[in-house]
Structure 1
Amino acid sequence: MTFSMPTISGELRTARLWLRPPRVEDAEALQAAIEASLPELKRWMPWAHQPSTLAQRREYVAASLARFQEGTELTYLIWASDGETLLGNSSLHHLNWLVPKGEMGYWVATPHTGQGYAQEAAQALTSMALDTLGLRRLEIRCDARNERSARIPRQLGYVQDALFRNDAVAADNPLQLRDTLVFSRVQ
């Protein structure tokens, strides 16, 4: 079986957003957005519990760019359409181009939550993944307690495939197990 990598868009635009891969010069804005959002991010994201320096954020950006170019993970920073305000981050990860399938994750900086940015970004990435990249399955997984995150796939026409009980350690309490919701869109 031969495999060819699809052409991957370097940027996406919506009515209010500009999604593009991170650049080295974005590390400071990304670090500031994460630091401003740590209390909320720590509830849901295990990586938010690890302190990071600006140098480590630059390393993350460089690694994200390498994975983007390899097609193994497609990270997009979510900017306001004018490119002035970093709103969050979204990615297509756990990509398997042979199936082809992947998983989407997202977060929005706390000062910008509740304005529909995560849903708008998720819609743009869903369309790109299914229509342009040719994925046959795209998943969104989240902690079952994270109602705001779970609302997004439901509003975008994803189907809840599963509730995995005691599936992972809770991000906000390593002594507690969490349940995981799994949503999918298929072609």
Structure 2
Amino acid sequence: MTAPADLPTEFRTPRLLLRAPRPEDATAQVRAIAESHAELRRWMAWAQEVQTLEQATENLTRAQEAYRTGENLRLMVWSADGRELIGSSGYHALDWRVPKAEIGYWIATPHTGQGYAQEVTEFLTDYGLNTLGFRRLEIHCDASNERSARIPRALGYTQDALLKNAEVSVADPTQLRDTLIFSRVQ
């Protein structure tokens, strides 16, 4: 199986617009990451430095192409009116032969605690299993990131593993971190 040729580039949830990346989203991405830098850098390797406009444009250009080819289906999470970037999510680590994917998510700090990550993940879980035909969806998170781990638990994912000392901590490279792996299968 390969990525669907007619994969939509926009989706709607009750409160959000999910849209494939575009280079013109760079200013909004830089702003959202800068607003969230203190929180994101604790968990995300890509957020160790504040992103420049040039870096964001390059990042989004690559992400747009990866979406087009079905290599990585990253989605920008916007307010329903498409004016404010709330965060990012999507299907990553895709293997269309199985088919399976990993759902990742981050929400800009001013918008956390409002259920957006769960809303997006619930949509992506349903769409992935029932429309795209994924046989397995995974969510990986740092075992100490309880806010992130609550989402798969709330959505009926099974915790498949706790990988001890699986990664180097992005916040402190002298420390190791444990990783939780959750899945939903069909």
Asked whether the two chains share a fold, i.e. TM above 0.5, the reply is yes
5 Å-filtered alignment, 1:81-120, equals 81-120=80-119
Give the conservation status (yes or no) of the 8 Å contact 1:12–1:124: no
With structure 2 as the length reference, what TM-score do the two structures score?
0.97
CA distance in 2, matches of 1:133, 1:114: 29
Matched, 1:139 2:138: yes
CA distance in 2, matches of 1:5, 1:34: 29
Greater CA drift, 5-14 or 76-85 = 5-14
5 Å-filtered alignment, 1:30-69, equals 30-69=29-68
Unaligned runs of 5+ in 1: none
Give the conservation status (yes or no) of the 8 Å contact 1:18–1:78: yes
With structure 1 as the length reference, what TM-score do the two structures score?
0.96
Find the counterpart in structure 2 of residue 184 from structure 1.
183
Deviation at 1:24, TM superposition (A): 1.5
Deviation at 1:126, TM superposition (A): 1.0
CA distance in 2, matches of 1:43, 1:4: 35
- The residue type equivalent to 1:48 in the other structure is A
Give the conservation status (yes or no) of the 8 Å contact 2:33–2:51: no
Deviation at 1:8, TM superposition (A): 2.0
CA distance in 2, matches of 1:4, 1:109: 32
What percentage of residue pairs aligned between the two structures are identical? 55
Inter-CA distance 134–176: structure 2 relative to 1 (3 Å threshold): same
CA distance in 2, matches of 1:118, 1:159: 18
CA distance in 2, matches of 1:50, 1:179: 23
Deviation at 1:10, TM superposition (A): 1.2
- Which of structure 1's runs of 4+ aligned residues deviate more than 3 A? none
CA distance in 1, matches of 2:76, 2:90: 8
Deviation at 1:144, TM superposition (A): 0.1
Deviation at 1:4, TM superposition (A): 4.1
Unaligned runs of 5+ in 2: none
